[in-house]
Amino acid sequence: GALERRTDVSRARRQLDVNQATVGNLRNSTLPALDLVGSYQLTGQGGPRRVPAGSSFEDLFGGAGGVIPGGYRDALDSIANADYPVWSVQLQMSYPLGRSADRAAYERARLELQQNRTQIRRIELRIASEVTNAALRIESIRERIEAATASRELAERQLEAEESKFEVGLSTNFFVLQSQRDLATAQDAELRAILDYQRALIEFDRTQRASLGAAGIAVVGGAMGGGAGAIY
């Protein structure tokens, strides 16, 4: 949108994004937390073991109390075979106590967020006012042009009439020169109005391109080369 091209709006919106993230983080720090923690691991066992009484290995290893040989390799095999899995699940709940500083920081950030939103709204209203004033100025100058054109056309007719009367001896050089001066004055006023109109169009175009966007203003072009007709 056009508002994104306004440095004042983009700067305020970037600050708004920062404030929103800060408020979210600080708010989370003031809330209780519930965590589910789980773990799973494999253990290995190896090394010499004594033969228990009544074991089927008594005859092979010298009866009860005999030693079954084993070592590091047995531990690796038991891990590979997942012989001794160990797992655990915990539910942990924490609640912030004595966090008045965090609460105060959260409230400050929330206030800054509200202020930033208000600032953006104020900028948007100012932009809408700038565009409206520029359009009203164009309309006012357009009326000046219409009046100046009418005056110039009247001066032309008056000069033609004086020249016609002068040709038949019903007027003098004085009145002809007066009509010529009146026409020159009317032409000058019309030209100045047209130049002011062109400058107003340029200013309106600059304001419109930089500010309409999110301000929600639609411009309907009028007569005289794309001037501002109406604002809604």
Least confident of 35-39, 137-141, 149-153: 35-39
Task: Supply the Cα-derived Rg of the chain in whole angstroms.
Answer: 46
Mean per-residue pLDDT, 154-168: 95
Query: Looking at residue 225, what is its pLDDT?
Result: 40
Q: Do the Cβ atoms of 130 and 211 come closer than 8 Å?
A: yes
Residues 101-138 have pLDDT tens digits of 777 777 777 787 787 788 778 877 887 788 889 889 99
Domain boundaries, the chain: 33-95, 129-231
Confidence of residue 209 (pLDDT cuts 50, 70, 90): low
For the cut 90, the answer to whether the pLDDT of residue 56 exceeds it is no
Question: Can you say whether residue 11 is alpha, beta or left, with left for phi > 0 and alpha for psi between -120 and 50 degrees?
Answer: alpha
For the cut 60, the answer to whether the pLDDT of residue 15 exceeds it is yes
For the cut 70, the answer to whether the pLDDT of residue 67 exceeds it is no
- Most confident stretch, 71-85, 127-141, 213-227: 127-141
Query: Looking at residue 70, what is its pLDDT?
Result: 53
Distance of CA 117 to the CA centre of its chain: 11
Confidence of residue 35 (pLDDT cuts 50, 70, 90): confident
Confidence of residue 76 (pLDDT cuts 50, 70, 90): low
